[in-house]
Amino acid sequence: MLLTSYLLAGLALLLAWPIPVALSRAHWTARSPFAAMVVWQAIALAGGLSMIGALLFWGLDPLGDTLIGALRGGLQLVLGDPEANSPGTIHIFALSTAALLGFHLVLTLIRAAWRITRQRARHRHILSLLTEESAGTPGTLVLDHETPIAYCLPGFTGSVTVLSRGLVKRLSPEELRAVLAHEKAHLEQRHDLLLLAFASWNDALPWLPTSKLSLAAVQELVEMLADDAALREVTAPVLLRALLTVATGALGEPSGKSLAPLPAAATGGAPTEELSSHRLRRLLTPKPPLPAALRATILAAALLLLALPTTMLVAPGLFS
C-alpha cells in the first residue's frame, strides 16, 4: 500500500508539471489535434486519479496491506473491533484530504455545468429578442449588427449558430459556408463538453500548471478540429479569408470585443475571431497529418497512461 502510494505520488508530480509542459511545447499536436486532445484528457484524468489515489493509499496503509484488506480493517475499526489497527493523525489527514479533493472536483464540475446552463438560457432569451432566423440556413440566427460575429450556442434541446448581418454581407458564399461548417463541427463534436471539463479542472485547481496549460491547449485544439471539418468542404485560402474577416473586423471595433458574452466553455468553442498564431500558421503553411501508425501509437500511449493509475488503484498488489 505504501509503495503504491509513493508510485502514484510520483506519477501525479510528473503529470502536474514536466509532461504537460512538454506537450504544450510539442509541434506535432497541430498535425493531429484529435490525438493531442486524447492525450490531454488522459493527462487530466490520470493526474486526478494519481493525486487522490496517493493520499487514499497513504491513509489506508495502517489498516491493511491491500485495498480490500484496508477496507476490511476500516470496517472492523468502525464496528469497534479491539484488534483492528487504528490509523494515526497523519493518515486520517491524508484520508480526509483525498475525500475533500474528490468532492471538490465533482462539486466544481456540477457548479460549472449549472452556471453555464443558466448562462446559455439567458443568452438564448436575449438572442430571441435581437435575432431572426436565417431564411436559407436552418438552425442559424442572424444578429442585426455590423460587427463580424460568428459563434455557436450548444444545447441538448436545440443548438444554434449565430452570425451577424455585417459578417454575412462581407463574406462570399464559399466563405460563409466555411464559417458555418466550422461552427457546425463545434456543435456536432460537442466541444462545449470538453471545454466544460477542462474549465472546471482549472477552476478547481487554478494553482496547478496542468490545469492552465490543458485549458489553453484544448481551447486551441477544438478550433483546429473545427478548422479541419471546414477544410473538408472548402479550401484553406477560403477558410483563411473567412477567419481573417471576422478577426480583423472584431479588432476594428472600438471595444475590441465580440458581442458574444459567453466564455468558451459555454459555446461550442472560442468565438471564431480568436485566430491564434498556431492556427494561422497551420492554414498558411499546412503540413501533412501524422502517419496512421504514429497516431495509433500516441493514442495507445494515452490509454496506457490512463490505465496505469487505474490499475494501481484496482490492483495495488501488482506494484508492491
Q: What is the pLDDT of residues 289-315, one digit of tens each?
A: 999 999 999 999 999 999 999 998 877
pLDDT of res. 136: 85
pLDDT of res. 267: 79
Ramachandran region, residue 212 (left: φ > 0; alpha: ψ -120 to 50; beta: rest): alpha
φ, ψ for residue 133 (rounded to 5)? Answer: -65, 140
pLDDT in tens, 120-164: 999 999 999 999 999 889 999 999 999 899 999 998 878 999 999
The cell for 275 is 485566430
229-232 contacts, C-beta under 8 A, 24 or more apart = 229/181, 229/182, 229/184, 229/185, 229/189, 230/178, 230/179, 230/181, 230/182, 230/185, 232/181
pLDDT of res. 3: 87
What average pLDDT does the structure give for the chain?
A: 89
Render 158-179 in DSSP notation, one character per residue. Answer: --EEEEEHHHHHHS-HHHHHHH
Low-confidence residues of the chain, pLDDT below 50? 254-260, 273
Ramachandran region, residue 297 (left: φ > 0; alpha: ψ -120 to 50; beta: rest): alpha
Ramachandran region, residue 252 (left: φ > 0; alpha: ψ -120 to 50; beta: rest): alpha
pLDDT of res. 74: 76
For 267-278, give the secondary structure using H, E and C: CCCCCCCCCCHH
Contact 210, 17 (CB under 8 A): yes
* CA distances for 209 relative to 9, 16, 31, 40, 135, angstroms: 16, 6, 24, 13, 46
pLDDT of res. 246: 85
User: Model-level pTM?
Assistant: 0.91
pLDDT of res. 314: 79
Contact 98, 56 (CB under 8 A): yes
Residues whose CB is less than 8 angstroms from the CB of residue 102 and which lie 6 or more positions away in sequence, other chains included: 52
pLDDT of res. 275: 77
pLDDT of res. 258: 45
What is the distance between the alpha carbons of residues 216 and 20, in angstroms, rounded to a whole number? Answer: 11
Environment class of 130 (CB within 10 Å of its CB; exposed 0-12, middle 13-18, buried 19+): middle
How many of the other CB atoms lie within 10 Å of CB of 78?
9
Strand partners, 131: 143
pLDDT of res. 20: 95
What is the distance between the alpha carbons of residues 279 and 238, in angstroms, rounded to a whole number? Answer: 14
Environment class of 149 (CB within 10 Å of its CB; exposed 0-12, middle 13-18, buried 19+): buried
Q: Which of 197, 237, 239 is nearest to 113 (CA)?
A: 197
